[in-house]
Structure 1
Amino acid sequence: MTINGPVYEAVGAFAPGGGVNALLEWSDKISERILTSTMRNEHMKPADRLKASEMLAKTYGAFLERVEVART
């Protein structure tokens, strides 16, 4: 995949080398900033702050998925 124009330049500013991987890393950083600011904003609804907190924790892998294994 080739990224051209202003998007490529914007990605290059955040991650040298550009490319799709750089774009994904840049996107993750922006998402974390949005979730963090939502979580800390006291003017937001408590439900929205809690959801942002939960989503941020999921991005860091804070939750474990429990799997039951049946022996036969």
Structure 2
Amino acid sequence: HNTRETYGAAVPEWGSNDPLNATCWHRLFTGCLQFFNDFLTKQSPSNSPCESTCQAARICYMHSGSSSLAFQNCAPGF
């Protein structure tokens, strides 16, 4: 697939000639975090909002790519 076509809308400030580097992927994960949280919690009103510590942990989980790396490197409980 074409990465820019697939994910470009989630990172609108990233130009068509900008590199697909770590900054781009970080912005992509950050941009998709609300969607991920809604999906994970099924938008239940009984769930607490995901604030800065929670957001950092969930981004860490997504970046890790595996549960073993997440357990080693990310804050638990999110």
Q: Scaled by the length of structure 1, what TM-score is found?
A: 0.39
Which has the bigger relative contact order, CA under 8 A and spacing at least 6? 2
Larger radius of gyration: 1
TM-score, structure 2 length as denominator? 0.37
